[in-house]
Amino acid sequence: MRSDYFQKFGSGDDEAFEKQRKDAMRTIEAHGKRDAAELAEMNEGERAKWLLWNLHENLEEFRKLEPTLIGQVMCTQLTITDGLSMATEKVGMEKKIELNCRWHLRLAYTPYTNEEAYLIGDGSVDLSVANALPSHPPLQKNQKGYLDSDSSLYPNQLYLYGWVTEPVWEEIKPHLYQPTPNCHTDLVLRDNCLFPVKSGFGFVAGPPGSVGITNLEFRVSSHSMERRSNRRTQTL
């Protein structure tokens, strides 16, 4: 977690915070105002900027496309620390999951056309494991995290901070450490759980320009080895 974010958190009600948010949106406005039909021509970084701008400045129209973010988990790391936390200034055990995800944006243009998926690039996901809402950074009640463009660490990639309870972690852990190649786990963010951190959306918090998340969905996909063998035979 980046310490500079701790000084900039808010729910969008503060005047200085809103100014920072507008400044952030102004820098990506040229990308955000491009038509959805141009997504195929954009690079991954431009698509990430297009996504964040439309979630902030064009939310009602953007949701007509039924946007869904899908992060395929490529790498998993579990970190357990014991002692004094620099963030909370409390002594105890902390458990965090760090995921490297390959993000795709899926859109449904009309009820009569197939959905399209666009690669946004790799991103970092930092999940705290706790049985109560973490006190730092100060998320809102019922908020599961926030999504942001982490250009300071991973240029043009998405950064997600969130939290899950211990029972949820125990449910998804076997799938994240699944050794077989015919199984993978996705982190899914649907449009009805994504909200801009700005004035009027005080039920989510995050850094200026970020998007609040109210629901995390983990989806495990698998197929039989027989199906893999048949597909390999057909390919050959």
- What proportion of the chain, given as a percentage, has pLDDT over 90? 61
pLDDT in tens, 83-93: 877 666 778 78
121 close to 157: Cβ distance less than 8 angstroms = yes
221 close to 181: Cβ distance less than 8 angstroms = no
Q: How far apart are the first and last CA of the chain?
A: 46
pLDDT in tens, 62-114: 999 999 999 999 999 999 988 877 666 778 788 999 999 999 999 987 554 66
Instruction: Provide the pLDDT confidence category of residue 156 given band limits of 50, 70 and 90.
Output: low
Q: Which residue has the tokens 């698998």?
A: 222
CA angle in degrees (0–180, nearest 5) for 209-99-139: 40
Letter string b/e over residues 126-150, b meaning 16 or more CB atoms within 10 A of that residue's CB: bbbbbeeebeebebbeebbbbbbbb
Amino acid letter, 145: G
The mean per-residue pLDDT over the stretch 27-48 comes to 94
- What proportion of the chain, given as a percentage, has pLDDT over 70? 80
Domain ranges of the chain: 3-235
Written as one string, the DSSP assignment of 59-122 is HHHHGGG--EEEEEEEEEEEEEEEEE-TTT--EEEEEEEEEEEEEEEEE---TTS--EEEEEEE
Asked whether residue 46 carries a pLDDT value surpassing 80, the answer given is yes
How many other β-carbons are positioned within 10 Å of the β-carbon of residue 43?
11
